[in-house]
Amino acid sequence: MAATLSPGDTGLQLLQNSVATAFALGALILTFGPVSGAHFNPVVSAADWWLGRRHGTGLTGRDLAGYAAAQTLGAMAGAVLANAMFDLAPVAISRTERTGGHLWLGEVVATAGLLLLIFALVRSGRTAAAPAAVGAYIGAAYWFTSSTSFANPAVTVGRVFTDTFAGIAPASAPGFVAAQLAGLVVGVALVAALYPTAGAAAGDAVVPQGDAAGSRR
């Protein structure tokens, strides 16, 4: 949509993408938080498992594997659906190359910052603010990182399947995923240093998950 409305204006396209992402992400967290805790990101799920393992909170290893598979398949399906909605080939492999140390560093910063934000909210009991806070962070990170803040291995894989402004070429994706995993390590280390007891509340990341009656897990 951004490329159609603002052809040739990369800056405006980036603004349109960042605004849409920020608002949509907040809405999705509100919608799916009661179902899955709004885990849309394998690195967030991995941090939740790692930080919560000693306390018996957060995801189990089996949950983590299932979540990561569902997140990746969901991102791929989302790209196919978006292509179809805008009358493009359902599967269109991206030709947009995104590579270089400065972009990978941007992904490390974006991913580590996202984890720090989420677990700061969890540790301080402010998970109700997660939809707005996470959406705002990702929207802002489009602009303050060199990589435009994918910050999500599942999203990176999904974007391979769209040859649009948001896409990433298959050859560029492994570098982004590796940088995001590095950001996971940095982020977990920062959370452990700044919020040593965050793992005790890991079950509330991203937001508390409830059953059909609305109770916490």
Contact 198, 119 (CB under 8 A): yes
Distance CA 48, CA 76 (A): 23
- Residue 165, phi then psi, degrees to nearest 5: -55, -30
Distance CA 46, CA 30 (A): 21
Distance CA 37, CA 31 (A): 10
Residue 134 token pair: 């996470």
pLDDT (0 to 100) of residue 211: 45
pLDDT in tens, the chain (217 residues): 998 899 989 999 999 999 999 999 999 999 999 999 999 999 999 999 999 988 889 899 999 999 999 999 999 999 999 999 999 999 999 999 999 999 999 999 999 999 999 999 999 999 999 999 999 999 999 999 999 999 999 999 999 999 998 999 999 999 999 999 999 999 999 999 999 988 888 888 888 876 433 333 3
Amino acid at 52: G
Alpha-helical segments (H) within the chain:
2-5, 10-36, 42-52, 61-85, 101-123, 130-144, 153-159, 173-194
pLDDT (0 to 100) of residue 203: 85
pLDDT (0 to 100) of residue 113: 98
Query: Helix (H, G, I), strand (E, B), or coil: what is residue 165?
Result: coil
pLDDT (0 to 100) of residue 214: 38
Q: Which option is the CATH number for 11-198: 1.20.1080.10, 3.40.50.300, 3.40.250.10, 3.30.70.3000?
A: 1.20.1080.10
